[in-house]
Chains A and B, each alone.
Chain A
Amino acid sequence: MSVERAGPRNFRSALRRTVGAALLAAVALGPLAAQAGGPPTAKVNTTGLAVTDDTVKVGILHSVTGTMAISETGSVQAEKLAIKQINDMGGVLGRKVEFIQEDGASDWPTFAEKAKKLLVNDKVAAVFGCWTSASRKAVLPVFEQYNGMLYYPTFYEGLEMSPDVIYTGQEATQQIIAGIDWVVKNKGAKTFYLLGSDYIWPRTSNKIARKHIEKLGLKVVGEEYYPLGHTQFNSVINKIKLKRPDVIYAIVVGGSNVAFYKQLKAAGIDMTKEKPLLLTISVTEDEIRGIGGENIVGAYAVMKYFQSLDNPNNKKFVKAFKDMWGQDMVIGDVTQAAYLGPWLWKAAVEKAGSFDIDAVRKASPGIELKTAPEGYVRIHPNHHLWSKTRVGQAQANGQYKLVYETKELVEPNPFPKGYQ
């Protein structure tokens, strides 16, 4: 399962490495090299990354324009907060972290283009970014070719395990299986109606959900997909009424969400009555702002993080986030996962004692973060995070109330046997 990369990928990077090392060694011999604060640059950066004696450059790559800007703004804010906090604590290996922000513009080739710019031109030591699966798929070959490290924050469909990515969100099985087990055990659910936006994450997630439901001997009574941005859900709501499922399993995303929940409520489906009960893995506190708390009250969400989590780490995080970005901010699961990125990178760099991508990659498995707002997390050798899965119930004020969390950390399993 473990992902490691042996040796230089190609001649070019080997050459770059040698030349870089030679140059930096020359600098390090100079009288100014022995700076206070951190180990000498020549030691921590043998591959020509943008690391100087007192700074290190990283990239932030999200959409700030286009349709995805809605979702990605929170991640950018969280990453900037984490970087600021890291700098306030003295930086990484004695070097201040500087970020270069690029706009993916909700356009996948633009993501690939900007990723390449960050890696090739700016030589950043790590990139925090991407949101949709499509953007990740687009940048992946770039990261593999130029040997970069991406910290990807979104919960996603799994089926991927790249040595160049650390997945700080949950993969599908972590979210889905625990959630379905909970609803079956505690709410006595027997029949499910699966509903989603039409793209890979909802489809793959529903596939896993369906397999799991059928394994438990229960029934899926309907499965539906609507194009992204669809705003008329009356027909499917009628179908749901006709089938009378115990659980509506909804993975609707983006603007469609707002339409879906408003119409669900208007059609007289009261989610607080829990018959049918609504279980979602796609609505974070961020989305509720658009939907309106009163329209989704009573629905259950399965995630690893809610803003309302009651622990000291989280209280500190929420306060810092609001102080930096405004008191009316809300924090969703992905925002928190994005916040973990810089911290996990810092821990890996410090463990490796080097900014080199290969060293960081080698050091990453087993890295733990006790200060994570969601509690304790640890990097699995498959580059995903061990994390707890939680169920929250939406409140009218737009927050989730925690109703269940797994006792143990759930193991990430991006290629689940028997679910494909």
Chain B
Amino acid sequence: MKSGFTLYTRKELISLLILAALIFLVFPAVLDVFRLNLVGKYLTYAFVAVGLVLCWGYGGILSLGQGLFFGLGGYGMAMFLKLEASTPEATKIQSTPGIPDFMDWNQLTALPGFWQPFHSFPLTLVLMIAVPTAFAWLIGVAMFKRRVGGVYFAIITQALAAILTVLIIGQQGYTGGVNGITDLRTLLGWDIRTDSAKFILYFVNGGLLMAALVACQFVRKSKVGRLLVAMRDKEDRVRFSGYDVANFKIFIFCFAAALCAIGGAMFTLQVGFMSPSFVGIVPSIEMVIFCAVGGRLSLFGAVYGALLVNWAKTSLSESFPELWLFAMGGLFIAVVLAFPNGLAGVYDSVASRIGKRRAAAPEGAPDAPPAPSDLAVPAAAAHRQPAAAAKDDEERLLLGGDRFLGKPAS
């Protein structure tokens, strides 16, 4: 790295510390283990949302198939745990002891070959991340090298998620079918169902998330991150400058997929099972929503988005089970229409408004309108200066500026 590379500005460092305090101190202090476990589950989605910030917010690549990678990671972990739970003693009532129960119900008499590596924990850890990443690489090479992007990419990834779901459900002898892989008990002999295990797993999960955040920040601040933004806004110019655009896209897509896989594995550990309902289209879109609500340009925003939407989902469905879909739908629409940069965008504009007001107060202008640079710049204007686009401060100007024009088209 060149000199002058700062990973975190002071403001960002404070945000990071606040988030860390929230995850490691506040939640464990105020929530019982049951709620804490729920928060842990939400935070596994944050891995996906953070990956999407890089991939979608910065790279402009909207994947509607993140559930695919989340699921592959989760299934990897679930397969290991299931094998550990299916000792010959524990399964002696089966016709073939020693294989997972659902295989026995489906008249399998031997463990299929692709399950064999999951007897070993180190191998599981490797495969759990490597398989989804390789998959992402394959998709990326096929698509980005041919300059497929935008909407097409979204629809194709969505279709892939749908295909994997049908496949998992259809091959129930090998995958557990629609029930998924259930009744997971221990990890290397350690009972993951107890309260103390849940407590520890929550912290492991939080630690991994922090590490993921730092890694993402590193990518974002590095040259790759800057190029991604430039590509998102004027792909051709980057290409004409001599960069291989596709490789950067493939990298970031794989990176996001690896994050999803970690999230999926932690999900399995904390929830205790994995099923195809986290692989398909609906969960994949929901994951995009977490990111959109939090703010597609803010790594921290994505974490808060995942927490907030899931928390709202849980509590709304507890108190108004029949209304929560209205609320969810309304939230999506509101976020897209009114707050294209999500919570983080709202926070930024409020913060800067307060800052301005404070500065302006001596001159007696209490209702100073937001400065023109504050969101109101038409997208077209920002596009005219792609060089400037790489600057973090202006990134949030790039999305949704046109709504202030009042017309759909210009």
Contact = CB atoms under 8 A, between A and B. Distances in A.
Given A103-B321, A133-B179, A141-B272, A108 B277 contact: yes
A140 B182 CA distance: 9
A227 interface: yes
Interface in A108-163: 108-110, 112-114, 116-117, 120-121, 132-134, 137-138, 140-141, 145, 157, 159
A311 interface: no
Nearest to A62: B321
B34 A138 contact: no
B169 to A, nearest CB: 6
A24 to B, nearest CB: 22
A313 interface: no
A182 interface: no
A121 B34 contact: yes
A158 to B, nearest CB: 9
Interface string A155-183: 00101000000000000000000000000
B317 A108 contact: no
A172 B193 CA distance: 30
Contact of B169 (A102, A132, A157, A228): A228
Interface stretch (B100-108, B220-228, B249-257, B301-309): B100-108
B238 to A, nearest CB: 41
B322 interface: yes
B103 to A, nearest CB: 12
B273 A138 contact: yes
B25 interface: no
Interface string A204-235: 10010000000000000000010110000000
A225 B178 CA distance: 13
A84 to B, nearest CB: 20
Interface in A182-211: 198-200, 203-204, 207
B180 interface: yes
B198 to A, nearest CB: 11
Contacts of A120: 34
Contacts of B325: 65
A420 B95 contact: yes
Contacts of A225: 170
Contacts of A204: 105
B39 to A, nearest CB: 12
B178 A228 contact: yes
A52 interface: no
A239 B179 CA distance: 29
Contacts of B208: none
Contacts of A134: 178-180, 275, 277
Most interface-central of B182, B272, B324 (chain A CB within 10 A): B182
B41 interface: yes
A140 B35 CA distance: 19
B314 A113 contact: yes
Given A65-B322, A137-B182, A228-B169, A199 B107 contact: no
A200 B103 CA distance: 11
A112 B271 contact: yes
A200 B41 CA distance: 27
Contacts of B374: none
Interface in B255-286: 271-273, 275, 277-278
Interface in A92-109: 101-103, 105, 107-109
B161 to A, nearest CB: 14
B166 interface: yes
A264 B9 CA distance: 67
Contacts of B277: 107-108, 134
A64 interface: yes
Contact of B172 (A64, A108, A200, A420): A200
A331 B355 CA distance: 64
B30 to A, nearest CB: 15
B178 A199 contact: yes
B183 interface: yes
A8 to B, nearest CB: 15
A140 B180 CA distance: 13
Contacts of A116: 34
Contacts of B101: 159
Interface string B80-106: 000000000000010100000110111
Nearest to B38: A113
Contacts of A64: 321-322
Contacts of B177: 198-200, 203
Given A117-B34, A140-B182, A141-B193, A227 B169 contact: yes
Contacts of B106: 203
B363 interface: no
B318 interface: yes
Contacts of A140: 182-183
B172 A199 contact: yes
Nearest to B193: A145
Contacts of B182: 137-138, 140-141
A113 B39 CA distance: 12
Nearest to B176: A200
Interface in B322-362: 322, 324-325
Given A116-B34, A134-B178, A420-B105, A105 B41 contact: no
A157 B322 CA distance: 30
Nearest to B273: A138
A227 B166 contact: yes
Interface centre among A120, A134, A225 (most CB of B within 10 A): A134
A207 B169 contact: no
Given A203-B177, A204-B105, A227-B169, A65 B317 contact: yes
Contacts of B321: 64-65, 101-103, 105
Interface string B169-201: 110100001111011000000000101000000
Contacts of A114: 318
Given A110-B317, A112-B271, A137-B179, A203 B172 contact: yes
Contacts of A420: 95, 104-105, 107
Interface string A341-364: 000000000000000000000000
Nearest to B93: A415
B34 A137 contact: no
A141 B183 contact: yes
Ranked nearest first, the 3 interchain pairs of A and B with the lowest CB-CB distance are: A103-B321, A199-B178, A137-B182
Interface of A: 12, 64-65, 101-103, 105, 107-110, 112-114, 116-117, 120-121, 132-134, 137-138, 140-141, 145, 157, 159, 198-200, 203-204, 207, 225, 227-228, 415, 420
14 contacts: A65-B324, A103-B321, A109-B273, A112-B273, A121-B34, A137-B180, A141-B182, A145-B193, A199-B169, A199-B179, A200-B177, A228-B169, A415-B93, A420-B105
